[in-house]
Amino acid sequence: MRTPCKRSLLLVAVLLPPFALASPEEDLAAFRAFYESRFPDIELADHADGAYALDEAKRAQWLEMEDFPPYEFAVDEGEALFEMPFADGESYASCFQNEGQGIKHLYPLFDEVAGEVVTLELALNRCREAHGEAPLDYEGEEIAALMAYMAYTSRGQTYDIKVPEAGLGAYEAGKQFFYERRGQLNFACSSCHLQSGGGMLRAEILSASVGHATHWPTYRFKWERVGTLHDRFIECNEQVGAQGLAPQSASYRNLEYFLTYMNNGMVLNGPASRK
């Protein structure tokens, strides 16, 4: 009989090769099985709370803080921005299904006409440009606030990201990015959040990758602001001594596509707060 440790190592071996000829469905099953084996006492859905799922004391402090969440102001600002009409009299609501309410869990998606992954941030700026407005800075406060509002209207929705045949290349590129080592430290995303998930890095617990896409945008106390998932990608790359790519670059959009697919079946719980 295999021990939990041996089962975990076996699953790592299955997951590690970035070019493994596995379907997205097989990848997802292996991904979930790995974390269920590594953390048998934690419900998979609880990983949406990141490292707070792994430390009861920190979780209690975090839940208490949620009574007066630091991202609340961004939700209000985002609502005002969302409802502000463009110069042509239209608004963001005209660009999205359900007038943009409760749709964040549908992104990112693969646009088969454009042949690329479209994130919600990219869709917001394309909406602006279609109505003669200048695009927003992807690292700016306005787009983070819009995302906070749109996430808030989508709370409780379940991720079910689709990978059509035309999107397999983008999915595989995101998967490769997740497992590929880079930078002076020669780390991959998987180095910290798959093999070492639940371990310590300095004084912090490393969260599991499953659930990573559920809670963005996030107020990080380190940043003292609300930021997007791509802000975090940039920071992670720089922390391992690699060059951070531009937000909404194809590489980061593909990575978000892969990571969000790995969160299928989980509930969107953003915006959130993290250390």
Annotated catalytic, 127?
no
Angle formed by the axes of helices 24-38 and 168-179, nearest 10°: 30
The full 3-state SS of 115-155, as one line of letters, equals CEEECHHHHHHHHHHHCCCCCCCCCCHHHHHHHHHHHHCCC
**Helix count and strand count (H, E) for the chain:** 10, 7
Distance (Å, rounded) from C-alpha 138 to C-alpha 134? Answer: 12
Query: Is-contact 186 117, C-beta < 8 A?
Result: no
Cα torsion angle, 143, 173, 37, 207, sign:
negative
Hey, what's the torsion of the CAs at 207, 211, 212, 213, to 10 degrees?
A: -170
Q: How far apart are the first and last CA of the chain?
A: 40
Residue 85's alpha-carbon distances to 82, 88, 123, 143, 190, in angstroms, are 8, 8, 17, 16, 42
Structure tokens belonging to residue 251 = 């590489």
Rg of the chain over all Cα atoms, to the nearest angstrom: 18
- The catalytic site residues sit at 236
